[in-house]
Each structure stands twice: as C-alpha cells, then as structure tokens.
C-alpha cells in the first residue's frame, strides 16, 4: 500500500513507527476529570489541561522519533463511552468490570443511533496544528460500539451495528474533510463472534469507509484472530493494527500458512506489563515479523493503547520500539 500512502502525499520511511492511540493522562487531568464527575468543574475548565497534556505528548512523540502521531486521547475516558456520549441514541450505564480492578461505564443503545456533529475533529485539528508529522484520525468502530453497548432498542446486533456504521461514516467524512489522511477505526471486538464477520462486519466497515480517500487502519486486540483469519482480510481497510507480543506472536505461524496481504501495524511491546522491553527484545520481534511479511508491509507499534502504563513506562517502551525499528531499518538498507 506504499502507493496509496504516496498518492496521499505521505512520505514515510520503511517500517513506519506509530502508536495505537492512548497515552497515560497526567495527574492534573485525572484529578480534574474526577472533579468534573463530582460536578465541581465544567468541561470548559478541563479543556486547557487536556490541551497542555496533548502538547506534551505531541512533543514527546516527536522527540522519540515516531513517524505517525496520535493525539493521545487526553480528552477521552473509555473509548466506547466517549463516542456514545457524543452520538444520539445512547445512555450510559453504571459501572461494569472489565478485568481485575478495572471498571467502565457501558453505553446503552436506547434509541436510534445518529451523528449529531463532529466528535473528534476539533482534537485532530488541534493535534495536527502542533506538528508537521501526520496525525492519525481516530475513532471507535461500529462493530465494537455495538458489541460494547447494551442494546435496549434494536431487534438484533446486525441492525444496531449497521446504523452505528452510518453514523460513524459522517465522522470519518468530517475527519477527511478537515485534512486527516490516515484514519484509524478501532475494532478491538473484531473477533468476538466469528460468524458475524461475513454476516455484517465487512458491510459495516464498508459503510464507514466508502468514498473517503484516506489510508484506513483498523486496530484490534485481545482477539482470537485464528477464527477470523484469513477471512478478515476482506475488510475494506489498508492496514491491520494487531496485538502480537501479548499473544506470544502465535499469529506469525498463522501468517506462514496464509500470507498476510495488507499492511500491518505489528504490536511489538506489551502494554499490560510494567517491564520495559529492551531494544534487542523488540528487534527480535520485528525480525520475527519479517520472516512472514515484506518490509514494505510492516509498521511497528505497541500492542494497544498505553494509557494504563505510567508516563515513564510508556516513554521507555516507545524509545525501545523506535530504537529497534531504526536498527532493523538500517540493516535492511545495508542489504
């Protein structure tokens, strides 16, 4: 897909480095969000703190040497809830456990889902104004939005998902109109029910991306990809961003049997471990990927969002990742 990137005017090195989306929020933002929940602050009060934190992460990504940046999602709580709050048709539930001591508020579809205006566009514009490097537009995909919501309105999952896709198509258009050239549609739930891939997930992603001239990435994680691979290659996106290191790189074996035909953002650092990988470990993972993928197909990134790590852990992991990518890149050009 190098041609598509070039035709969009994107000049990226071999093995572009990027991140999945979220970074840890600084204490000021966390505390202010708590106060907002308690009604002691307004969203307006929060904004300058979120902007300051976004500036920090853009600068940090540039310093580390990452090629394709993200805004860091300083303004988001949960990835599904944030969109649910900004779309018509949703209520928000009480707390539900996701793992260990982590809880989230789950959206409830209680009416027809509709787009009522741009959700992420302002933040994308703000982040892009701070850097010359491309910043990805980011949204949570229709299947994950449906799967991660309670459904009290639609008769079945398919109809909920397709209406969700129609609403998100508007958001994607708005991002592209604002100038976003790389748009990531997060679908961590992708492999939830394999029979639904052909049933309606491909159709939903088609609705989301149709007619929009951007390079599309879809991120997925914690999946049982073996059940939807290679069928998932039918999804109308250019790049799959997959968690690899946390699943011990089992997918590499699967790619050996069925070659991967699209670009891939290959997760090389584990976001659920406090341990900061060293450059050698990450290099090994990249080389493992290159056993079954062409260098032109390969992007390098963490398994998932880094928001649950400390700032130091996140930065340490990204430095190891960029260091490793640079070394492998060098050894490839010497060949």
Partner 1 sequence: MELITASAGSYPRIGTAPEKQRLRAEYARLDRGEISKEDFARVQDEVTKEVIEEQRRAGIELATDGQVRWYDQISHFARKLDGCEINGLLRLFDTNFYFRQPVIKGNVRWAAPIVVGEFKFAKKVSPIPIKPVVTGPYTLARHSIDKHYHDFSSLVADFVVAIGKEVNALAKAGAEVIQLDEPSILKNPQEFKIFESAVGEVSKNKGKARLALYTYFGDAAKLYDKLQSLPIDILGLDFSYSQKLAAVIEGMGSEKELGLGLVDGRNTRIENVKETAKVVAKILKKLDVDRVYLNPSCGLDEYLPREVAFEKLKNLVAIAKQVRAEMK
Binding partner of residue 58 among partner 1, Zn ion, none, CB under 5 to 8 Å per kind?
none
60 contact choice in Zn ion, partner 1, none (CB below 5 to 8 Å, kind-dependent)? none
**Which tokens belong to 210?**
């149709």
Contact region with Zn ion (CB under 5 A), list: 121-129, 186-194, 248-256, 326-334: 186-194
148 contact choice in partner 1, Zn ion, none (CB below 5 to 8 Å, kind-dependent): partner 1
Tell me if 242 contacts Zn ion by CB under 5 A: no
Q: Does 141 bind Zn ion (CB under 5 A)?
A: no
Q: Which of 107, 137, 142, 188 binds Zn ion (CB under 5 A)?
A: 188
- Cα torsion through 201, 207, 208, 209, rounded to 10: 110
Residue 83 burial (CB < 10 Å; 0-12/13-18/19+)?
buried
DSSP 226: G
Is the Cβ of residue 221 or residue 264 nearer to Zn ion in the bound state? 221
Tokens at residue 209, please? 């991306």
CB of 178 to partner 1, least distance (A): 31
Site for Zn ion in 44-83 (CB under 5 A): none
Footprint of partner 1 (CB under 8 A): 93-101, 103, 106, 108, 147-148, 150-152, 189, 191-193, 222-224, 246-248, 270, 272-273
Could you list the beta-strand ranges (E) of the chain: 87-99, 102-115, 137-140, 150-151, 182-186, 215-220, 239-242, 263-267, 298-301
DSSP label of 198: I
Using CB under 5 A as the binding criterion, the count of chain residues that bind Zn ion stands at 3
Q: Rank residues 47 and 272 by Cβ distance to partner 1 and give the closer one.
A: 272
| Closer residue to Zn ion in complex, CB, 154/240 | 240
CB of 133 to partner 1, least distance (A): 31
As a residue count, the chain comes to: 335
Query: How far apart are CB 114 and Zn ion at their closest, in Å?
Result: 27
Q: Are 203 and 166 in contact (CB under 8 A)?
A: no
304 binds Zn ion (CB under 5 A): yes
| Long-range Cβ pairs for the range 7-11 (8 Å, 24+) | 8/181, 8/182, 8/213, 8/214, 8/215, 9/181, 10/134, 10/181, 10/182, 10/215
Q: Which does 93 bind (CB under 5 to 8 A by kind): partner 1, Zn ion, none?
A: partner 1
CB of 242 to Zn ion, least distance (A): 9
- Applying CB under 5 A, among 221, 235, 244, 289 the residue interacting with Zn ion is 221
Distance CA 1, CA 3 (A): 5
Q: Measured from the CB of residue 197, what is the shortest distance to partner 1 in angstroms? A: 12
CB contact at 8 A, 174 and 124: no
Q: Closer CB to Zn ion, residue 140 or residue 149?
A: 140
R_g over Cα of the chain: 19
Q: Residues in the site for Zn ion, rule: CB under 5 A?
A: 188, 221, 304
């Amino acid at each position: 897909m190098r041609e598509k990137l070039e035709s969009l005017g994107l000049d990226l090195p071999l093995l572009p480095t990027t991140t999945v989306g979220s970074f840890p929020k600084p204490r000021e933002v966390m505390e202010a969000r708590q106060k907002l929940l308690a009604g002691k602050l307004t969203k307006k009060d929060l904004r300058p703190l979120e902007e300051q934190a976004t500036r920090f992460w853009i600068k940090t990504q540039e310093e580390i040497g990452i090629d394709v940046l993200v805004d860091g999602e300083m303004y988001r709580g949960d990835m599904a809830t944030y969109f649910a709050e900004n779309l018509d048709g949703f209520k928000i539930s009480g707390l539900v456990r996701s793992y260990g001591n982590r809880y989230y508020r789950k959206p409830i579809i209680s009416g027809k889902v509709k787009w009522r205006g741009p959700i992420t566009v302002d933040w994308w514009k703000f982040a892009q104004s701070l850097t010359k490097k491309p910043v990805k537009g980011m949204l949570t995909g229709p299947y994950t939005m449906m799967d991660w919501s309670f459904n009290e309105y639609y008769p079945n999952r398919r109809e909920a998902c397709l209406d969700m896709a129609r609403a998100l198509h508007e958001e994607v258009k708005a991002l592209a109109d604002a100038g976003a050239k790389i748009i990531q549609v997060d679908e961590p739930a992708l492999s939830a029910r394999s029979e639904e891939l052909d049933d309606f997930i491909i159709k939903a992603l088609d609705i989301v991306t149709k007619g929009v001239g951007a390079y599309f990435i879809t991120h997925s994680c914690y999946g049982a990809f073996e059940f939807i691979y290679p069928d998932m290659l039918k999804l109308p996106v250019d790049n799959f961003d997959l968690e690899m290191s946390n699943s011990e790189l089992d997918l590499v074996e699967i790619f050996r049997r069925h070659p991967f035909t699209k670009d891939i953002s290959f997760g090389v650092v584990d976001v659920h471990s406090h341990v900061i990988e060293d450059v050698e470990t990450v290099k090994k993972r990249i080389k493992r990927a290159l056993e079954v993928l062409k260098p032109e197909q390969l992007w390098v990134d963490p398994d998932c969002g880094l928001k649950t790590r400390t700032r130091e852990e996140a930065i340490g992991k990204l430095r190891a990742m960029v260091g490793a990518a640079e070394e492998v890149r060098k050894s490839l050009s010497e060949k």
